[in-house]
Chains A and B, each alone.
Chain A
Amino acid sequence: MLDQHAIRQLSEVSVSVEIETPEMTLNIGPQHPSTHGVLRLVAKVDGERITDVDPKLGYMHRGYEKLSEVRTYPQIMALVNRIDWTSGYANEVPFVVAAERLLGVEPPERAKWIRLILTEMARVSAHLLFMGSFPLELGATTPLMFSLRDRERVLDVMESLTGGRFHPNFNRIGGVKPAAGAGKEMKKQVQDLPAGFLAETRDAMVKVRSTCDELEQLIMGNEIFLARTKGIGILPPDVAVSYGVTGPNLRASGVPFDLRTMTDYLPYDQVDFEVPIGEQGDSFDRWWVRLQEIRQATRIVDQAVDKIPAGPLLAKVPKIIKVPKGETYVRAENPKGIMGYYLVSEGGQGPYRLKIRSASFSNLSMLPWILEGVLIPDLLAVMGSLDFVLGDVDR
């Protein structure tokens, strides 16, 4: 007669007999499942489980680093805001600060505050897109309607000032674009923020905050979403750091690393905000951190709207800008993470070399690590939560 222990052993033996499954190679793409650009994955799978994944990049490679060597600084501004097209404005800021640093020009205070407002609004619009696209990838269509409605509100306000929804191209070396109107007469008049801009901004932020509450209710009450994201795709902090992962992806793993609290490229030291961090570093935390970051960004915009000083928008700079010989590296906390420009000038009208350090490139480089052992149905839950844009990977 078998005792309890023997029965258990026997049953364990019988379930641990594995069916022989040959390793298969599965091609995914070339496309991003949520069309954030084009990516191809070559995955090795054992049944439903991914054993190895090899991302194939380059479908969005536009050669900006080479193009920068034949363009002038103002022309490059139009290129760089197409790197991460979900937050075009934020890409311009570190580049223009790098050029100003080499040139020895300090932008007026008012210009810095306008840069801060627009950067945070770019963050709100980029994160709102994520709030819609990530649940959509898991089959929840409703949050998209809420978040896109408010993203459009924010983009409308940005457009009223800059003339562009996605690609504002609003920075100039020494400040921000001063003349908005067309024709000689308009250009002679004082051009500044359009009337009512600050009030509309404040209004949009109130609406964004109430949408955040709605989105939170929709998701936190959705058991399917929680089951598919909690505990899925855990990224430990030390792995994230060694791969150079930054932004909300790093903060979701519990590392409170936010350049806005550490550097002075914009007057963040004069506003009050919190840096939300996650506990587990799973897909759910990455969603949660971004939701909190929208709320904090609206807080920053509110304070900036109250504090913005009067004054000129542009420092005195020559019409044709030649940047003196020198090298500098300027980085900024963009919606997707740290974006930096290593700018080498040899005294010309354009850079001698411009190295673009983009957030999504480093964030995506740990994809083979995080996808190992993940089930194919969870692939979307993990990749969607990382919030990368292929334009920001390939440059």
Chain B
Amino acid sequence: MSTNQPEDTDGVPAEPSPLAAFADEVAAAVGGTPSTDHGTVKVRVAAERWAEAVEAARDAAGLPFLEFISAIDWANDVSVGDPPEEPVEERLEVLCAVGDVVEGRLAILSADIPKEAPSIASLTHLYPGAEWHEREAAEMFGIHFEGLAKTDHLYLPDEFEGNPLRKSFALLTREVKPWPGDVDVEDLPDAVPTGPSTENPGA
């Protein structure tokens, strides 16, 4: 798969941007679908191939640096915040950002898993630093990481029940009392200077 590449008038594909070229390179190595929206390289892979894809990113694409592992809870019915503008497919999206420390390239791999019995392979055998990231995602989203040796809570008390970063998990303080900021919002001043000034104040 390839990202949208600009074509010039002769129909000859123009040179892709370095970011798009990098996204294509990672996608080819891991076998996924690339995107480069808002300057962020993201490659979607199948959840069954999660560990295999990240290993390919590390070895074949040359990205030995672990940036983070986390997840997004995609839900139409939310207990906190605003629901998505348009209906989304109900799922958990697992993210793993890997990069290198020579050129500072970074690619984010993502895989969708179902919300019922969410489970995905652990990456601790590839990156030792993955342990804390996965323990955090496990307690916050209720994701089971297969092969994660240490599964006790990282942040939450041992007896804590529920997964706080799930959209179905209500923020109790907000249920009891509305956000006080809603009532005392002060208007911004009208006279915000936005025109260019010629002098250099502060000198």
**Which A positions have Cβ atoms within 8 angstroms of B?**
57-58, 61, 63, 65-67, 69-71, 75, 101-102, 178-179, 184, 187-188, 190-199, 238-239, 241-245, 250, 255, 257, 259, 262-263, 308-316, 319, 325-329, 331, 338, 340, 342, 344, 346-350, 352-353, 355, 357, 361-362, 365-366, 369, 394
One of B38, B192, B201 near A101 (C-beta < 8 A): B38
- Report the minimum CB–CB distance from A344 to chain B (whole Å): 6
One of A238, A243, A310, A327 near B199 (C-beta < 8 A): A310
The yes or no answer to B161 lying at the interface (CB within 8 A) is no
Contacting residues of chain B (82-113) with chain A, CB-CB under 8 angstroms: 82-85, 95, 97, 101-104, 106, 108
Contacts of A191 in B (CB 8 A): 193
Nearest residue, chain B, Cβ from A395: B155
One of B6-14, B23-31, B48-56, B67-75 contacting the partner:
B67-75
Nearest residue, chain A, Cβ from B73: A353
Q: A312 to B201: give the CA distance in the assembly, Å.
A: 11
Q: A200 to B199: give the CA distance in the assembly, Å.
A: 19
B70 touches A346 (CB 8 A): no
B39 touches A192 (CB 8 A): no
Contacts of B66 in A (CB 8 A): 242-244, 362
Contacts of A314 in B (CB 8 A): 192, 194
Name the 9 nearest CB pairs between A and B, nearest first: A193-B202, A262-B104, A243-B129, A58-B155, A328-B38, A257-B101, A348-B82, A187-B189, A192-B201
Q: A328 to B129: give the CA distance in the assembly, Å.
A: 23
Given contact pairs A70-B80, A192-B197, A310-B200, A187 touches B191 in the complex (Cβ within 8 A): yes
Q: A40 to B83: give the CA distance in the assembly, Å.
A: 38
Contacts of B194 in A (CB 8 A): 312, 314-316
- Report the minimum CB–CB distance from B10 to chain A (whole Å): 31
The yes or no answer to B148 lying at the interface (CB within 8 A) is no
How many chain B residues touch the partner (CB < 8 A)?
62
Nearest residue, chain B, Cβ from A61: B155
Q: Mark contacts of B137-167 with chain A using CB atoms, 8 A cut-off: 1 yes-contact digit, 0 otherwise.
A: 0001000000000000111110000001100
B202 touches A198 (CB 8 A): yes
- Report the minimum CB–CB distance from B77 to chain A (whole Å): 14
A344 touches B72 (CB 8 A): yes
One of A58, A63, A197, A327 near B154 (C-beta < 8 A): A58
One of B67, B82, B102, B127 near A352 (C-beta < 8 A): B82
Contacts of B42 in A (CB 8 A): 327
Nearest residue, chain B, Cβ from A260: B104
One of B39, B84, B189, B192 near A328 (C-beta < 8 A): B39
B171 touches A70 (CB 8 A): yes
- Report the minimum CB–CB distance from A354 to chain B (whole Å): 10
B40 touches A190 (CB 8 A): no
B82 touches A362 (CB 8 A): no
One of A65, A196, A346 near B84 (C-beta < 8 A): A346
The yes or no answer to B132 lying at the interface (CB within 8 A) is yes
Q: A352 to B133: give the CA distance in the assembly, Å.
A: 20
Q: A241 to B128: give the CA distance in the assembly, Å.
A: 10
B189 touches A66 (CB 8 A): no
Contacts of B199 in A (CB 8 A): 310
Contacts of A75 in B (CB 8 A): 181
A350 touches B81 (CB 8 A): yes
Contacts of A353 in B (CB 8 A): 72-73
**Which B positions have Cβ atoms within 8 angstroms of A?**
37-40, 42, 64-68, 70, 72-73, 80-85, 95, 97, 101-104, 106, 108, 127-129, 131-133, 140, 153-157, 164-165, 169, 171, 174, 179, 181, 187-189, 191-203
One of B65, B80, B131 near A365 (C-beta < 8 A): B131
Nearest residue, chain A, Cβ from B167: A69
Nearest residue, chain A, Cβ from B193: A190
Nearest residue, chain B, Cβ from A184: B189
- Report the minimum CB–CB distance from A333 to chain B (whole Å): 10
Q: A75 to B186: give the CA distance in the assembly, Å.
A: 13
B165 touches A255 (CB 8 A): no
B189 touches A179 (CB 8 A): yes
- Report the minimum CB–CB distance from B71 to chain A (whole Å): 8
Q: A263 to B19: give the CA distance in the assembly, Å.
A: 12
A193 touches B201 (CB 8 A): yes
Contacts of B64 in A (CB 8 A): 238, 241-242
Contacts of B174 in A (CB 8 A): 70
Q: A199 to B200: give the CA distance in the assembly, Å.
A: 12
Given contact pairs A255-B101, A366-B129, A195 touches B201 in the complex (Cβ within 8 A): yes
Contacts of A308 in B (CB 8 A): 200
Other A-B pairs, 13, CB within 8 Å; known A347-B82, A355-B68, A366-B129: A178-B192, A242-B66, A242-B127, A243-B129, A244-B127, A257-B101, A257-B104, A263-B104, A310-B200, A328-B39, A342-B70, A348-B82, A353-B73
